[in-house]
Structure 1
Amino acid sequence: MARTEYYDDPDAPEPNSMVVAASAVVTDDRGRVLLQRRRDNDLWALPGGGMDLGESLPGAAVREVREETGLDVEITGLVGTYTDPRHIIEYSDGEVRRQFNVCFTARVVGGALAISDESTELRFVEPAEIGSLPMHHTQRLRLQHFLEFRPRPYLG
């Protein structure tokens, strides 16, 4: 399924759903950040996705990281909340969503990197390399906030 992201675009389609989602900045012992190249839009992104009924947001982040990367993680903190109404995501199946995303920090506690059907590539990336990767600016904003080592989570 293809995915198109719009930001502050007057030609963006009208949303027909609101999705609560979680993402995670997973780092290794060298300070590199785990990123996936998404199959649906060919952009680099943090692992994450929608919360299922009956699970917590941290639980959703742990599940999504496992599903998308093969790694088991433990949540260690909070980067921030991302609720910008100017960000619209359109899928080829007709869903047009606004997304409420909570971005956590996490560390690896097990598993092994494995590409899922949602990605074409996975790798731990040096922070200095992140700026050169093709990435939607909403993902880049989360990473920027993480790399700023803010004393408090971003609330936006």
Structure 2
Amino acid sequence: MLGSKPCPHCGNDVVLYRNPVPTVDIVIYDPCKGVVLIERNNPPLGWALPGGFVDYGETLEHAAVREAKEETSLDVVLTGLVGVFSMPCRDDRQHTISITYSAIARNPQGLKAGDDAGGARFFQLDDLPELVFDHSDILNEFSVKVLSLQASASIGSSTEQV
């Protein structure tokens, strides 16, 4: 709790709370090219997943598609939920909660840094640079899901041949 202030409508005291801030991150994945990372122009500097803050009145899904476009110039289709990441120390600036989506790019050849990104490129999952925030944890979670899906598909195709 941060305290209270008078309500502008009725004058009664309203309690003010300090809450975590919702954010989205997007794992844009191409099986041949890898995942898209952006090089941040703003602190903390370094490579990161595309993402950002959810605007008031905006859905999480819209925020993910918007942030992907702003930071990578890519039009994306969300393909699933990677997970929710909420460690209070995941962002040194403030307590954020990241709702992370997986996505595919409609136009992967159009990858170009935009907005507050100094660079954008594809990286193979087994050859990633050092990442800021908890994005290594997010990509580890994503990798486990991708490998699990690939293993399931492989098992399914091998049983069909029997």
Q: TM range, normalised to the smaller chain? A: 0.7 to 0.9
Decide which of 80, 83, 107 is 1:80's aligned counterpart.
Answer: 83
- TM-score normalised by length of structure 2: 0.72
How many corresponding residue pairs? 128
**Aligned pairs (5 A) from 1:109-120:** 109-110=106-107, 112-120=110-118
Task: Name the structure 2 match of 1:148.
Answer: 144
Task: Name the structure 2 match of 1:3.
Answer: none
Greater RCO, 1 or 2 (C-alpha within 8 Å, sep 6+): 1
Task: Name the structure 2 match of 1:154.
Answer: none
CA contact (8 A) 1:39 1:117 kept: no
For 1:113 and 1:136, locate their aligned partners in 2 and report how far apart those are by CA, in whole Å: 21
1:46-82 deviations in whole A, cap 9, x for unaligned?
0000111222111110000000010000110011001
CA contact (8 A) 1:27 1:107 kept: yes
RMSD: 1.9
Unaligned 5+ runs, structure 2: 1-17, 149-162
1:103 Cα offset (Å)? 0.5
CA contact (8 A) 2:45 2:132 kept: no
CA contact (8 A) 1:33 1:125 kept: yes
Decide which of 21, 36, 40 is 1:38's aligned counterpart.
Answer: 40
Residue 43 of structure 1 aligns to which amino acid in structure 2? G
- TM-score normalised by length of structure 1: 0.75
Residue 104 of structure 2 aligns to which amino acid in structure 1? R
Identity %: 31
1:88 Cα offset (Å)? 3.8
Q: Which of the two has higher C-alpha Rg? A: 2
**Aligned pairs (5 A) from 1:3-22:** 18-22=20-24
Task: Name the structure 2 match of 1:129.
Answer: 127
CA contact (8 A) 2:24 2:53 kept: yes
For 1:125 and 1:86, locate their aligned partners in 2 and report how far apart those are by CA, in whole Å: 26
1:101-140 deviations in whole A, cap 9, x for unaligned?
100100112372221241111101011101xx12135110
Which protein has the bigger strand share?
1
For 1:73 and 1:137, locate their aligned partners in 2 and report how far apart those are by CA, in whole Å: 23
Which protein has the bigger helix share?
2
SS of structure 1 residue aligned to 2:78: strand
